């Protein structure tokens, strides 16, 4: 059974009630917090180039290397704070729950945004404020605007329930069942509630809706995590190499010379397009897939701990890249940085091809078998066969007797009575 057919069959075979406004509202509120990441990064990357910002914080007189170093710290310091935030979540989410933890960190984020806005020219104050988040109005207004989405999702969490898993872990099964009923708009005894696939793999329909990108919603579940990641990496390598080669060829040339040369001008336009294409490639690969896979490969009992640790490593590496990038660009005449990252992507392509399995729709037993293999042999069984997919039970009434079956590829059911 192909992955596309398995996905479409699962959607078509699901009750229409599960795709309801309440589920969409809750997932929208929680996924809206992702605005913080893009808003902060886009905002600070543009602010550090403003003349008024440089004068305000006393960095307008720095040399190119000094400015690159300072810029690296300003941009990257927020990701260093994210490392500690992820590690703090390990205990907080287990003790306070996902909802309360989210509300606490929303308040911290708002405090950090206010600190950035009113840091009054203190570089130390700016650093500290960015750790907990990240004329004067030119930079203060866009920084203060970060608070608006935080208020929206912060207040929105009061209209969403606590995680059913957390409620179950605290011995509150009645409340957990009510939350699931509200999410699905189905009675507790509905056959869909017995679908083994739902809890066996941890792949809830909610995962499809919390993906930040439209691609994640409409494509990744159809072509699979592995193909999405491989496609994204290949596009990243191509675009990084193109931009690096372009910068090398045009190194030392004045912008006026490039504009006057039709061939060079077209190449520069293509390089700009490649940068945007690289952003798309990153979005369909390394940006979205790690979040999905980390939620699918771990058993429920250790998932919160493992995902928190993984995200801490993610932000630690992110900090390293953000911190080094300005200095790396200055030290390698810009083109070298793109060649360097293209090389890293090439190494990751080899690793992903050898060791990355397709995780969508797999049963936990199949997942366990994968990780019992040597990592460099996973590619041989990367894509799940019919027996590797989490089965969907079918409950039928035949002559007053309840029977259970398992859906097969042709849509029929084998009764197991």
Q: What's 253's domain CATH number?
A: 1.20.1250.20
Tell whether 98 is covered by a domain.
Answer: yes
Residue at which a domain ends, from 184, 199, 233 = 184
Q: Tell me the per-residue pLDDT of 126-136, one tens digit each, with 9 for 90 and over.
A: 555 555 554 55
Q: Is 80 exposed, middle or buried (0-12, 13-18, 19+ CB in 10 A)?
A: buried
The answer to which of 50-64, 255-269, 305-319 has the lowest mean pLDDT is 50-64
pLDDT for residue 209 = 35
How many whole angstroms separate alpha carbon 138 and alpha carbon 184?
Answer: 46
Mean pLDDT of 53-61: 80
CB 303 within 8 A of CB 291: no
pLDDT for residue 182 = 87
How many whole angstroms separate alpha carbon 93 and alpha carbon 101?
Answer: 6
Full DSSP string of 186-240 = S-TT-GGGG-HHHHHH---HHHHHH-SSHHIIIIIHHH-HHHHHHHHHHHHHHHH
- Pair (249, 298) in one structural domain: yes
- Crossing angle of helices 225-249/289-296, nearest 10°? 150
pLDDT for residue 11 = 67
How many whole angstroms separate alpha carbon 335 and alpha carbon 3?
Answer: 40
> Residue 238: which pLDDT band, with cuts at 50, 70 and 90?
very high
Tell whether 39 is covered by a domain.
Answer: yes
Would the pTM of this model clear 0.85, i.e. be above it?
A: no
pLDDT for residue 200 = 34
Mean pLDDT of 193-200: 41
- Pair (28, 62) in one structural domain: yes
User: Over the range 186-214, which residues count as b (16 or more CB within 10 Å of their CB) and which as e?
Assistant: beeebebeebebbebbbbbbebbbbbbee
Tell whether 199 is covered by a domain.
Answer: no
pLDDT for residue 139 = 63
**Is the torsion defined by CA of 206, 207, 208, 210 positive or negative?**
positive
Tell whether 197 is covered by a domain.
Answer: no
Tokens 């992110």 map to which residue?
318
> Residue 393: which pLDDT band, with cuts at 50, 70 and 90?
very low
Tell whether 358 is covered by a domain.
Answer: yes
Which residues share a beta bridge with 345?
Answer: none
Q: Tell me the per-residue pLDDT of 328-385, one tens digit each, with 9 for 90 and over.
A: 888 888 899 999 999 999 999 999 999 999 887 777 778 888 888 999 999 999 888 8
Whether residue 6 is predicted with pLDDT greater than 70 in this model: the reply is no
Provide the percentage of residues in the chain whose pLDDT is more than 70.
77
- Pair (42, 166) in one structural domain: yes
Whether residue 402 is predicted with pLDDT greater than 90 in this model: the reply is no
Mean pLDDT of 249-273: 89
- Pair (264, 399) in one structural domain: yes
CB 329 within 8 A of CB 68: yes
Higher pLDDT, 411 or 31: 31
- Domain span including residue 244: 1-15+222-306+319-417
Mean pLDDT of the chain: 77
Higher pLDDT, 15 or 106: 106
**Is the torsion defined by CA of 202, 203, 209, 213 positive or negative?**
positive
pLDDT for residue 416 = 33
Q: How many domains, in total, are found in the chain?
A: 2
- Pair (241, 155) in one structural domain: no
Mean pLDDT of 192-218: 42
pLDDT for residue 215 = 57
- Pair (178, 274) in one structural domain: no
pLDDT for residue 384 = 83
Whether residue 290 is predicted with pLDDT greater than 90 in this model: the reply is no
- Pair (373, 390) in one structural domain: yes
pLDDT for residue 274 = 92
Whether residue 407 is predicted with pLDDT greater than 70 in this model: the reply is no
Tokens 């309360």 map to which residue?
100
How many whole angstroms separate alpha carbon 275 and alpha carbon 242?
Answer: 9
CB 182 within 8 A of CB 161: yes
Whether residue 412 is predicted with pLDDT greater than 60 in this model: the reply is no
How many whole angstroms separate alpha carbon 355 and alpha carbon 206?
Answer: 27
Q: Please, which residues have CB within 8 angstroms of residue 313's CB and are 6 or more apart in sequence?
A: none
CB 233 within 8 A of CB 349: yes
How many whole angstroms separate alpha carbon 360 and alpha carbon 87?
Answer: 27
- Pair (78, 142) in one structural domain: yes
Whether residue 324 is predicted with pLDDT greater than 90 in this model: the reply is no
Whether residue 306 is predicted with pLDDT greater than 70 in this model: the reply is yes
> Residue 197: which pLDDT band, with cuts at 50, 70 and 90?
very low
Q: Tell me the per-residue pLDDT of 168-180, one tens digit each, with 9 for 90 and over.
A: 888 888 898 888 8
pLDDT for residue 50 = 78
Task: Count other C-beta atoms under 10 Å from residue 74's C-beta.
Answer: 24
- Pair (274, 385) in one structural domain: yes
pLDDT for residue 7 = 59
């Amino acid at each position: 059974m192909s992955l596309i057919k398995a996905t479409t069959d699962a959607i078509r075979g699901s009750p229409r009630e599960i795709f309801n406004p309440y589920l969409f509202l809750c997932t929208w509120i929680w996924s809206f917090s992702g605005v913080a990441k893009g808003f902060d990064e886009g905002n600070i990357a543009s602010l550090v180039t403003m003349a008024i910002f440089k004068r305000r914080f006393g960095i307008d007189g720095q040399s190119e290397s000094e400015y690159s170093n300072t810029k690296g710290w300003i941009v990257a310091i927020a990701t260093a704070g994210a490392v500690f935030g992820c590690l703090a979540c390990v205990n907080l989410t287990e003790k306070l729950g996902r909802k309360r933890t989210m509300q606490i960190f929303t308040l911290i984020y708002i405090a950090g945004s206010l600190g950035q806005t009113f840091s009054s020219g203190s570089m130390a104050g700016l650093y500290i404020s960015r750790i907990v988040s990240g004329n004067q109005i030119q930079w203060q207004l866009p920084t203060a605007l970060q608070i608006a989405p935080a208020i929206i999702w912060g207040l929105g969490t009061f209209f969403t329930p606590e995680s059913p898993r957390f409620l179950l872990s605290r011995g509150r099964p009645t409340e957990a069942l009510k939350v699931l009923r509200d999410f699905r708009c189905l009675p507790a005894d509905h056959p869909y509630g017995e679908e083994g696939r739902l809890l066996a793999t941890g792949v809830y329909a909610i995962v499809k809706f919390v993906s930040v990108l439209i691609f994640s919603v409409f494509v990744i579940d159809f072509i699979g995590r592995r193909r999405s990641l491989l496609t994204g990496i290949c596009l990243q390598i191509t675009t990084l190499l193109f931009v690096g080669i372009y910068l090398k060829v045009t190194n030392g040339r004045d912008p006026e010379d490039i504009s006057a040369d039709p061939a060079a001008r077209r190449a520069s336009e293509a390089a700009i397009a490649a940068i945007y294409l690289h952003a798309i490639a990153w979005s369909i690969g390394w940006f979205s897939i790690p979040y999905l896979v980390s939620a699918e490969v771990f058993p429920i009992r250790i998932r919160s701990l493992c995902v928190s640790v993984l995200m801490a490593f993610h932000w630690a590496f992110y900090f390293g890249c953000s911190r080094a990038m300005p200095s790396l660009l200055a030290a390698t005449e810009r083109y070298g940085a793109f060649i360097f990252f293209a090389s890293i992507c090439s190494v990751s392509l080899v690793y992903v091809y050898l060791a990355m399995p397709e995780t969508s729709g797999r049963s936990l037993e199949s997942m366990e078998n994968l990780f019992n293999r040597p990592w460099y042999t996973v590619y041989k069984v990367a894509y799940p066969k019919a027996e590797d997919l989490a089965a969907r039970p079918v409950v039928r009434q035949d002559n007053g007797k309840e029977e259970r079956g398992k859906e097969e590829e042709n849509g029929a059911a084998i009764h197991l009575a």
